[in-house]
Structure 1
Amino acid sequence: MNGHCLLEIKNLDAGYGAVPVLFGIDLSVCAGEIVALVGSNGAGKTTLLRTISRILPARGTLRFAGEDLLPMTPEATFSRGLVQVPEGRQLFGGMTVAENLLMGTYRRRDKDVAQSFEQVYALFPILKERRRQLAGNMSGGEQQMCAMARALMAHPRLLLIDEMSLGLAPVIVDQLLVVLQEIRAQGVTVLLVEQDVFAAFSIADRAYVMETGRIVREGPVATLADDPTVRDAYLGTAG
């Protein structure tokens, strides 16, 4: 692992009301990494992201850039640079692309957003072409690009991306994976939650495998890809 640990999670339990979902989660993301969190649908991946973003209560250790996140509100967490791209994009369909992007800046203290627009348009040229189009009228892939660009407008230190590939054609997923590597090169750390293990492993440095609310495997992607259990369950190549 390179750099200091930006996100530190130890022995974290969380759930919905009296229903426990996460059990003793240990996970870290260091500055400059792309870390993948993979597992089947219902494993608890989205619950973990919602917990990190402080939407759900939790017990244990949850620290970001050295600060204790547990007592923080979602707004305070967001303001510190921990920004989530939610599953299903959750754009404002009746607003234009540019208006959606502007929503990402609402907690920024600086008001010079012109440069940010140019930066995200450089990553996603189609959004510049479609900037006056209603977000709800775009394709799924374009909406995912818009959701990622909106998050980048917030100047994230850590980008949490939930099921980026869901419902998208492989060619679009490949384009987004390239963009994620460019985002990392620009200094943004990424935690990528994915059911598509092939996609996640193709760009991640390290990965965690989650099953029924627990981390069952972790390590460098190359090591996990050679793990017979992981290959059998997620890569379809038992060996």
Structure 2
Amino acid sequence: METFDLSRRLAAEALGTGILVATVVGSGIMAATLTRDVALALLCNTLPTGAILVVLITVLGPISGAHFNPAVTLVFTGRRELRVNEAALYIVAQIAGGIAGTIAAHLMFGLPVLDPSTKVRTGGPQWFAEAVAAFGLVATILAGIRFQRAAVPWLIGLYITAAYWFTASTSFANPAVAIARSLTNTFSGIRPVDLPGFILAELCGAVAGMVLMNWLLGHATTRGPVPVAETRS
């Protein structure tokens, strides 16, 4: 397996997070421009986000692991698959890339370079939704790597597409993306003052997902339940 040096991995993390945020923010701006139907606008925001995740994880995953998310980096650090000093640099690259993504989206649509959001996203249900979103994301990643590594880009893209709709928060599930979205006063924004609750919930959900999946995937036996697909053959 090809290994890339740290500088290239950091560049991949910044680039991937930047393109992800540019897609989230840009598609939100486009959706709000084209329709006043909030449900339709959310759908127009959802589909590009899921699609770009498939692309980014496929093309940049072999370089950096395609975390694009401090919560995911924290999980792989906790699993001792990434050194602490490298993890810190990954997180810096992700946050910087995310902010650059917001700037890029604003420049494409002729908006101020940075425009802090006034959109309220706070309260227990929102925080719990973010914990659930991050928990599910980590569970999807770890189980996908274990059982269907080649399908991981699609699994994550599909999970986030679904989580946009089944979580009250529309599934940020990513501290770097949340920070970047606090700098856009558009459809996808979040007030900077609401960030701490979101970030804490995301990190707690990610850790909970790691703990459960480490146990769930930890000790396989030679015999077990027959997969559903095999029972149909």
| TM-score tier after normalising by the smaller chain length | under 0.3
TM-score by length of structure 2 reads 0.27
TM-score by length of structure 1 reads 0.26
Higher strand share: 1
